[in-house]
Structure 1
Amino acid sequence: MAIIEIPYSTKSLKVNVEDKNLKGILVSKANSYKADCSQNDIVNRSLDNCIGSKSLEELVKDKHNMVIITSDHTRPVPSKITMPILLERVRKVNPSINIKILIATGFHRPTTKEEMINKFGQNIVDNEEIINHVSTDEDSLVSVGILPSGGELFLNKLAMETELLIAEGFIEPHFFAGFSGGRKSILPGIASAKTIMANHCSEFINSNHARTGIIKDNPIHKDMLYAAEKSNLAFILNVVIDENKNIINAFAGDSKLAHEEGCKFVMDLSSVKSIEADIVVSSNGGYPLDQNLYQAVKGMTAAEATCKKCGVIIMIAACNDGHGGQSFYDTVANSKGPEELLERILKVPRNETIPDQWEIQILARILSNYTVIVVTDVCDPNMITSMHMKHAYTFDEALSQAYNIKGKDADVVVIPNGVGVVVEK
């Protein structure tokens, strides 16, 4: 019997699958990748060897102010390591520069002070000016152009008015943008709700190019690149992390070129061959990405890519923060079913996208083809079942439910970290 460790919240679960059922385990090579130096050294080395750009030190010379964009509480960017390095390098050559740290919340809620301390450490929270981007605050936004898709591009004023704009982040597979990092710091990171919804329209989400690991001909990526260019994003520091959230590589420099190099590295590590199965087990890689059902949809897409139609997806995600979005919950829970919901969303025009429609659309697509069982012991089961999914307190309970649906001899594939792999047919 195979015993497989799967991230769950801030810990992990050990799950058992009989050898006769287990058909494969899909794991990113990032889990076994061994860096040749410390995390700090990896970051500093990338900053010493910029890709397609002047060095950070050259860029900050003679500047009076700058903005550093960083990810929010839903992303495991190791800012306790990266941010101090960035601040030290900047102030070494320009001690008097005014620095603002702008949290790229995108369409999410603001990051709390407690979450900031957890992300940056007490020292940075106490001594730096940190601002949450609020996508619905029109007074904090400015129009800067029209996206290739036709939507109006509104971005945060602080970012647009600063002399130097840079961003830190991390690169991992993303379920409709292809990869995270780079241009995503701008769109959706510091864009308006209106702009985000135009970019995340049903037409684009439905595109076969808007999938995990794909940026070529991806209409969502194309809009994001335009937004990064219009924002004058001058420099990025993007890291790659392993399953323990430790930095294994870093890419710094031009926002497009450095990001592309990082994506190539991640693709090489995370690409796995699909193994079709009746039952597929997935996770969101633990905290912070498994805080809610909204984020858990990402891990489900990895299972979707390798599960037989009408199969069962077992999603292990704590969802301690609940559904993750009221409109997300209300729309799914109040629908007659996923098929009706998906059909309705696909008819929504590009400029009439509603909040969280993209996540609703992808979940509806999955639920139209698979039975989803969510494993959590810290989330209201009624909330899960009202959203047309099944609930289990334990993995064994979920597996038993799955066998009742697909039979005791059903094939099982396990993806310990669904957001860390690109499943290729």
Structure 2
Amino acid sequence: MTTVRVPYHRTHWNVEIPDENLVGILESKVNEFIPNLTEEEIVKKALDNPIGSPKLEELVVGKKDMVIITSDHTRPVPSKITMPILLERIRSVNPEIDIKILIATGYHRGSTREELIDKFGVEIVNNEKIIMHDSRDKESLIKLGTLPSGGELWLNKLVQETELLIAEGFIEPHFFAGFSGGRKSILPGIAGAETVLANHCSEFIASEYARTGILDKNPLHIDMLYAAKKANLAFILNVVINGDKKIINAFAGDSEKAHLAGCDFLEDIAKVDKADADIVVTTNGGYPLDQNVYQSVKGMTAAEATCKEDGVIIMISACNDGHGGQSFYDNLANASGPEEVLDRVLKIPRNETVPDQWEFQILARILSKFTVILVTDMYEPEKIKAMHMEHAYTFEEALEKAFEMKGRDAKVVVIPDGVSVIVR
């Protein structure tokens, strides 16, 4: 037996695969990359050496106010480290500047106070001005033109009301935007609902370029770059983290150039060669990304890239927060199967995209080719089955089910962290 350690919620599981079945363990090299600096030193070094931009301290001189965009509770941005450093540097040269922290919820729900404390620590939550973006609150939005795709660009009006707009975030492989980070702080981060929907239309999601690790010709990425420029995103701090959510590198400076440098670094260590398998075991990297089924689709796409058609994907994900979106759940549960979902969604015009459409479209694409067994002891099995997936409480139960479907000699691949790899 080979034992593989995989993340689950806030802990880890040891899963065992018979040696005669195991044909590969696909892992990013992020966990092998050992920096010679502490996490704080990595961040400070990046800020001291911005890419394509003056230093942050130079940008804030003479400004009366500024906005720092940061991710919400669904993203493992290590803000307990990055935000204090940003605030200290800003106030060291401009102690009177008015700073607002804008939570980029995108199309998600707002973060709770407890989730904000978990993200920032109680001191920042109690003492800083934190504003929760609401993509559906039209009064808080302003129209800034038309996206290359033709959709209207609505952003949080703070982008025009502030003198300086910066963002912090992290870079990871992204299952349809290519990579997270950079321009995604703006779109979908602080965009209006109709802008997010237009950008995430079925036509774009179906594009062969809207895949993990691809930016060139990616239609969603093109829209996102345009939105960042229109918002005047002046500076970013993006980090790369390992499987333990520790910072291993950081990139600061121009929102496009610094982001591309980070993507290039990550691609070098995250790319893995596919290994054809009948059964693929994957995860969503543990908390906070495995809180719901919606987010767990990301980890499934890594398995999709290496699983033989008609194979089985074993998705280990806590889903303690449920399905993650009512539209996501309803569009799957109310359909006879994934084929019906795909047939319907591909007929929806770009400007009529419905909430969560991109996520149920991708899950339906996966379910049309593979059987998915979702492993969790924190979410109702009947709801998982209603979304056309199988359920198992334990990994052992799931693997037994998979062997029953594919035979005792089935070839197995394990992807310990499905959101951290680029499978080619």
- Per the alignment, residue 391 of structure 1 pairs with 391
Specify the code of the residue in structure 2 equivalent to 1:56. L
- Per the alignment, residue 401 of structure 2 pairs with 401
- Per the alignment, residue 264 of structure 1 pairs with 264
Normalising by structure 2, what TM-score?
A: 1.00
- Per the alignment, residue 5 of structure 1 pairs with 5
Structure 1 residues 36-73: Cα deviation after superposition (integer angstroms, max 9, x where no partner): 10000000000000000011000000000000000000
- Per the alignment, residue 183 of structure 2 pairs with 183
CA distance in 2, matches of 1:16, 1:287: 22
- Per the alignment, residue 79 of structure 1 pairs with 79
Matches within 5 A, 1:265-284: 265-284=265-284
- Per the alignment, residue 212 of structure 2 pairs with 212
> How much does 1:158 deviate?
1.2
> What secondary structure, in the 3-state scheme, does the structure 1 residue paired with 2:419 have?
helix
CA distance in 2, matches of 1:2, 1:124: 44
> What secondary structure, in the 3-state scheme, does the structure 2 residue paired with 1:420 have?
coil
- Per the alignment, residue 38 of structure 1 pairs with 38
> How much does 1:156 deviate?
0.1
CA distance in 2, matches of 1:378, 1:360: 21
CA distance in 2, matches of 1:319, 1:82: 27
Structure 1 residues 310-332: Cα deviation after superposition (integer angstroms, max 9, x where no partner): 00000000000000001111111
Specify the code of the residue in structure 1 equivalent to 2:202. S
Residue 358 in 1 paired to residue 358 in 2? yes
Structure 1: 5+ residue stretches without partners:
none
- Per the alignment, residue 68 of structure 1 pairs with 68
CA distance in 2, matches of 1:156, 1:48: 29
> What secondary structure, in the 3-state scheme, does the structure 2 residue paired with 1:279 have?
strand
Residue 135 in 1 paired to residue 156 in 2? no
CA distance in 2, matches of 1:113, 1:209: 38
Specify the code of the residue in structure 2 equivalent to 1:361. Q
- Per the alignment, residue 95 of structure 1 pairs with 95
- Per the alignment, residue 198 of structure 2 pairs with 198
> What secondary structure, in the 3-state scheme, does the structure 1 residue paired with 2:368 have?
helix
> How much does 1:160 deviate?
2.3
> How much does 1:343 deviate?
1.0
CA distance in 2, matches of 1:405, 1:287: 30
Specify the code of the residue in structure 2 equivalent to 1:260. L
Matches within 5 A, 1:406-417: 406-417=406-417
Structure 1 residues 246-288: Cα deviation after superposition (integer angstroms, max 9, x where no partner): 0000000000000000000010010000001000000000000
- Per the alignment, residue 171 of structure 1 pairs with 171
Percent of residue pairs identical: 68
Normalising by structure 1, what TM-score?
A: 1.00
> How much does 1:388 deviate?
0.2
- Per the alignment, residue 291 of structure 1 pairs with 291
Matches within 5 A, 1:284-323: 284-323=284-323
- Per the alignment, residue 418 of structure 1 pairs with 418
Specify the code of the residue in structure 2 equivalent to 1:223. D
Structure 1 residues 340-376: Cα deviation after superposition (integer angstroms, max 9, x where no partner): 1101101111111000000010000000000000000
CA distance in 1, matches of 2:145, 2:93: 34
Specify the code of the residue in structure 2 equivalent to 1:261. A
CA distance in 1, matches of 2:63, 2:343: 52
> How much does 1:31 deviate?
1.0
Matches within 5 A, 1:43-62: 43-62=43-62
> What secondary structure, in the 3-state scheme, does the structure 2 residue paired with 1:191 have?
coil
CA distance in 2, matches of 1:404, 1:197: 40
- Per the alignment, residue 237 of structure 1 pairs with 237
CA distance in 1, matches of 2:44, 2:209: 35
- Per the alignment, residue 255 of structure 1 pairs with 255
> What secondary structure, in the 3-state scheme, does the structure 2 residue paired with 1:419 have?
coil
Specify the code of the residue in structure 1 equivalent to 2:301. T
CA distance in 1, matches of 2:109, 2:60: 31
CA distance in 2, matches of 1:416, 1:96: 46
Structure 1 residues 227-253: Cα deviation after superposition (integer angstroms, max 9, x where no partner): 000000000000000000000000000
> What secondary structure, in the 3-state scheme, does the structure 2 residue paired with 1:220 have?
helix
Structure 1 residues 70-119: Cα deviation after superposition (integer angstroms, max 9, x where no partner): 00000000000000000000000000000000000000000100000000
Structure 1 residues 108-143: Cα deviation after superposition (integer angstroms, max 9, x where no partner): 000100000000000000100001100000000000
> How much does 1:161 deviate?
1.3
Residue 326 in 1 paired to residue 322 in 2? no
CA distance in 2, matches of 1:383, 1:43: 42
- Per the alignment, residue 156 of structure 1 pairs with 156
Specify the code of the residue in structure 1 equivalent to 2:169. G
Specify the code of the residue in structure 2 equivalent to 1:65. D
- Per the alignment, residue 17 of structure 1 pairs with 17
CA distance in 1, matches of 2:78, 2:380: 30
> What secondary structure, in the 3-state scheme, does the structure 2 residue paired with 1:99 have?
strand
Once superposed, which parts of structure 1, at least 4 consecutive aligned residues long, lie more than 4 Å away? none
Specify the code of the residue in structure 2 equivalent to 1:393. Y
CA distance in 1, matches of 2:27, 2:191: 34
CA distance in 2, matches of 1:265, 1:333: 40
> What secondary structure, in the 3-state scheme, does the structure 1 residue paired with 2:234 have?
strand
CA distance in 1, matches of 2:302, 2:191: 27
CA distance in 2, matches of 1:276, 1:59: 50
Specify the code of the residue in structure 1 equivalent to 2:114. E
> What secondary structure, in the 3-state scheme, does the structure 1 residue paired with 2:324 have?
coil
> What secondary structure, in the 3-state scheme, does the structure 1 residue paired with 2:262 have?
helix
> How much does 1:159 deviate?
2.1
Structure 2: 5+ residue stretches without partners:
none
> What secondary structure, in the 3-state scheme, does the structure 2 residue paired with 1:318 have?
coil
